[in-house]
Chain A
């Protein structure tokens, strides 16, 4: 595994970066599209191969700068898969995007350079063997993704991009304060330099750290990262950024960025675990998880524009993942792994479905859809598959993952938290089913409210969408089947020994 990883790691990170570099010097929009497609296919092949190596391997492989383990492999796979589809659907988005805040000649270049740089940073984040380097990479994703969020140049996009940039930068400053506190503690133990902040070095030193210092650093790091994950109550940027960004970017933000940052927080918990005590680390994650779910659920009952609804669903699902990490039992960890994969697939499909939806009726950027099936059955089927999966309706893999996480919570003895979370998730489920019935399958309302009733897709677009829905549905069912076998597997055993 180590030899293969040594070859694939630079490819998984370097290929999207090389693609961005090539596009920066490409003159025509068509050339940009083609280079992005080529770079995307190659980068996805490298990323998926490395993910397969990591998930099938018998233990983590590590180098001077990287660690390839099960959790990192999972995120690499998610980033590669979603990144590839986002790149492939981007030419269609760019053709119909209308306006951008840069000139049309530069728009393609800016878009692809930022998208591929973002992809490269996400891949590097999953592999980073060092807390400070992981922080630098997470911060680096901010600039690229903020540019993408504001790509349309509309007032809403500017507002979303500004909020995202300012709030996440301030949050990450708090996380950096925690990292410096940890660096000071390591220096006092005689560990200096960058490698004192390697996950392994922190893990080794954690039992020797004063408990209050370890706890203070941990809380600062996780609270800071929470602003980037979008965990409530520091989630204000999330609904705006996800709803205003181009759909392929929203898919990357929700499916890949948020869980990648969660992974850094998870690794911090594992590394500092021995210095925190049994309860402290769990409490922080469970707190963020529960608050996020409780804040998200009322919005799942509101008549919101499609992408905004998906954004609040992201808040809910990041909360579920936080709960699973907080419970920390083998069942819960199996649930977390399955949830990250299932959420990525279902959410990405939901955002891609917004492309034909918004092409058909631009008002749907600002109003809730209504009776989409009547005008565009294919778009409606994509939305329905996404909604059914996100709601956790069997046989969705998210049904199994939520069940695993809640059972894991019972096994951890957090019964009260499990009860509250189960009730909130049930309400969230009902909210999304309500959207499915009213917004997707229901009758179109009065003309003013019947947004989406006439959102046709044509020719090649229809074939691509039909294929995407079929593949996504098959993938979701396959994940559900795999999910049943996850508890007790070698992958979960490896993750229980520690991420990073």
Chain B
């Protein structure tokens, strides 16, 4: 996959960990999914139909998911800014360090393009870091999508393509999980008056 495209996908993931506004974060993840879809399309010619499936999968993630998340965001307005545990620069620095560490420490996965391997692992790590560092529930949901995009980047780069059954099955699972997570975000707002997951710390032993 084109190096510029992969870099843009990574930068958009890093933007998601640092931006304050939920709408900007949704747009960043949506654009990331679209770029990933475009990248998958460039791999289609003369290759397995699995790539076409992957592109369709990513288009759904790039258009439908962000639209639904935007609607969810409109229904769950925050009464005040959710105070972050760490500032944007600290979050960015921590995430970049973790992603670099993950990418460097990961042994060769066997793909022809080592950069794609490293970018995919970095995206997975960034997704995990978004969940760890961001307190709003909607941001944590976006973290899951970023991690999933890392796996999609790797999947479309498998020689001969990953089976379309796995691609479509993973999409269905993602849609199910995101739908349930969206419903939870809505419910958390109703119950707590905010999407701040710091409120979800009542269960202790």
Contacts and interface: CB of A to CB of B under 8 A. Distances in A.
B138 to A, nearest CB: 12
A185 B163 contact: no
Given A170-B127, A181-B110, A187 B159 contact: yes
Most buried by A among B128, B163, B197: B163
A147 B180 contact: yes
A385 to B, nearest CB: 25
A136 B170 CA distance: 6
Interface in A102-149: 132-133, 136, 139-140, 142-143, 146-147
B66 to A, nearest CB: 18
Interface stretch (A171-179, A254-262, A330-338, A463-471): A171-179
A464 to B, nearest CB: 31
Contact size range, B: 35 or more
Nearest to B188: A158
Contacts of B170: 136, 139, 176
A110 B110 CA distance: 44
A180 B154 contact: yes
Interface stretch (A188-196, A273-281, A349-357): A188-196
Interface string B160-200: 11110110011011001101110010011001100001001
A342 interface: no
A240 B162 CA distance: 36
Interface string A230-245: 0000000001100110
Given A169-B144, A169-B177, A239-B205, A176 B159 contact: no
Interface in A5-60: none
Range of interface residues on A (Cβ < 8 Å): 35 or more
A184 B159 contact: yes
B200 A163 contact: yes
A180 B153 CA distance: 11
Contact of B202 (A155, A165, A216): A155
Nearest to A304: B205
Contacts of B197: 162
B120 to A, nearest CB: 8
Nearest to A305: B205
Contacts of B154: 177, 180
Contact of B203 (A156, A165, A166): A156
B160 A180 contact: no
Interface in B132-149: 137, 140, 144, 147-148
A299 interface: yes
B110, B197, B201 — which one has the most chain A CB atoms within 10 A of its CB? Answer: B110
Contacts of B203: 156, 159-160, 239-240, 243-244
A248 to B, nearest CB: 19
Contacts of A192: 48, 159-161
A302 B147 CA distance: 37
Given A133-B165, A180-B155, A194-B165, A161 B176 contact: no
Nearest to A142: B177
Interface string B36-73: 00000000000010000000000000000000000000
B109 interface: yes
A212 interface: yes
A181 B109 contact: yes
Nearest to A168: B177
A143 B159 contact: no
A158 B127 contact: no
A193 B48 CA distance: 10
A142 B176 CA distance: 9
Given A169-B177, A173-B151, A177-B124, A187 B158 contact: yes
B124 A174 contact: yes
Contacts of B180: 143, 146-147, 165
B113 to A, nearest CB: 11
A368 B147 CA distance: 39
Contacts of A143: 173, 176-177, 179-180
Contacts of A184: 109-111, 158-159
Contacts of A162: 137, 181, 184, 188, 197, 200
A339 to B, nearest CB: 25
Contacts of B111: 184
Contact of A166 (B140, B162, B163, B165): B140
Contacts of A304: 205
B107 interface: yes
A156 B180 CA distance: 17
A156 B110 CA distance: 44
Contacts of B151: 173, 176-177, 180
A343 interface: no
Contacts of A181: 109-110
Interface string A196-234: 010000000000000011001000000000000000000
A195 to B, nearest CB: 8
Contacts of A136: 166, 169-170, 172-173
B131 interface: yes
A287 interface: no
Contacts of A139: 170, 173, 177
Contacts of A267: none
B147 A170 contact: yes
16 contacts: A136-B166, A139-B170, A155-B202, A156-B202, A159-B200, A159-B202, A165-B177, A170-B131, A177-B121, A177-B151, A184-B110, A184-B111, A187-B158, A187-B159, A192-B160, A193-B163
Interface of A: 101, 132-133, 136, 139-140, 142-143, 146-147, 150, 153, 155-156, 158-163, 165-166, 169-170, 173-174, 176-177, 180-181, 183-185, 187-188, 192-194, 197, 212-213, 216, 239-240, 243-244, 299, 302, 304, 308
Given A132-B169, A169-B144, 9 more contacts: A132-B165, A143-B179, A153-B187, A166-B144, A173-B151, A180-B109, A197-B166, A213-B110, A243-B203
In order of increasing CB-CB distance, the 9 nearest A-B pairs are A194-B163, A143-B176, A136-B169, A159-B200, A192-B160, A139-B173, A184-B110, A187-B159, A132-B166
